[in-house]
Amino acid sequence: MTRHFLTGAELTKDELNRLVERALELKRDRLASRALEGRSVALVFEKPSTRTRASFDVGVHELGGHPLVLRGDELQIARGESLRDLALVLSRMVHAIGVRTGPHEAVEELARHAGVPVVNMLTREHHPCQALADLVTLRERFGRLDGLRLAYVGDGNNVARSLVILGELAGVDVAVSSPPELSLDGRPAVSPENAASGAHALYADVWVSMGDEDDTELKRELLTPYRLDEALMAHARDDAIALHCLPAHPGEEISEGLLYGERSAVFDQAENRLHAQKALLELLVG
């Protein structure tokens, strides 16, 4: 049976823990696996990307495979070809399909018709590959996942949703603090200070995501009290780390001191996208 990775809920707790451990093994020896030898992975990008594109492209290559990068405006879907037809065609040519797009329904439609694994590289509603790398980062820093507390402060967006899904599966207590107008799936309001209390990690994301540019001023006004800075970090544990999925706007959603300071694990997070996704591709395709 073909397995997909669309929200992260497709994994069992044991599978998730094994993925995290395997990612750390691959980080110690990046060329230890050739699980994709002689195989190709289509990487479909309908949205701009830095970390996702670099990490999947390099990851497929390091696993011995061929990354076939396809931009949405270069494909016939830009001219009305159906996602069903795209899935049926690509399934006959490649061994997996990664998709970075807008509506989550698009990856669900591809998965319904694809005969190969479909990986959600980002949709408006979910970003499970990011959350997987975040768990690798937490495991790397604290030596465990079960019993950790992570506080996400900001817009209740796709990153927050994926952290809740995968974090809770791994035994991480995920607290989400958002303005009521931007709450995650109607979750009760929690102040940033209460969310951060006793946390092992504080997490921020951009205030204005791709596609939300029309709401820039309103979102900045709502999110100003939800900044990740030194004052908020003081409510967390003494060994707490700062996380951010990037791109960042220092001085806006996160202070420059936390982003680049010694408590930052942000750039470990970015690197761990590579290792986590290699472990994921091994599971789905290898």
Mean pLDDT on 208-219 = 76
- The DSSP output letter for 264 is B
Residue among 232, 282, 248, 276 nearest 63 (CA):
282
Minimum mean pLDDT range among 75-79, 102-106, 107-111, 168-172? 75-79
Residue among 81, 89, 78, 82 nearest 116 (CA):
89
Q: How far apart are the first and last CA of the chain?
A: 14
Transcribe 137-183 into DSSP letters: HHHHHHS--TT-EEEEES---HHHHHHHHHHHHTT-EEEEE--GGG-
Cis check: omega of the bond before 179, within 30 degrees of 0: no
Q: pLDDT digits over 114-150, tens only?
A: 999 999 999 999 999 999 999 999 999 999 999 999 9
CA 182 to chain centre: 19
- The CATH number of 130-271 is 3.40.50.1370
Mean pLDDT on 173-183 = 97
Judged against a pLDDT cut of 80, whether residue 286 lies above it is answered with no
The contacts of residue 166 (CB under 8 Å, 6+ apart) are 8, 11, 16, 128, 131, 132, 134, 135
With b meaning 16 or more CB within 10 Å and e meaning fewer, what string describes 209-235? Answer: eeeeeeeeeebeebbeebbbbeebbeb
CA-to-CA distance for 133 and 256, rounded, in angstroms? 22
Write down the pLDDT at residue 209. 77
Write down the pLDDT at residue 214. 66
Judged against a pLDDT cut of 70, whether residue 193 lies above it is answered with yes
Which residues of the chain does CATH 3.40.50.1370 include? Answer: 13-127+272-284, 130-271
Identify whether the C-beta of residue 154 lies closer than 8 Å to the C-beta of residue 181: no
Mean pLDDT on 89-105 = 98
Phi and psi torsions of 8, nearest 5°: 100, -20
Burial of 247 (0-12, 13-18, 19+ CB in 10 A): exposed
Split at pLDDT 50, 70, 90, the class of 77 is confident
Q: Which tokens sit at 24? A: 């750390």
Instruction: Tell me the helices (H) and strands (E) count for the chain, helix number first.
Output: 11, 8
The contacts of residue 269 (CB under 8 Å, 6+ apart) are 133, 134, 137, 243, 244, 245, 246
We find that the CATH architecture of domain 13-127+272-284 is: 3-Layer(aba) Sandwich (3.40)
Write down the pLDDT at residue 213. 67
The contacts of residue 184 (CB under 8 Å, 6+ apart) are 156, 157, 160, 161, 164, 176, 178
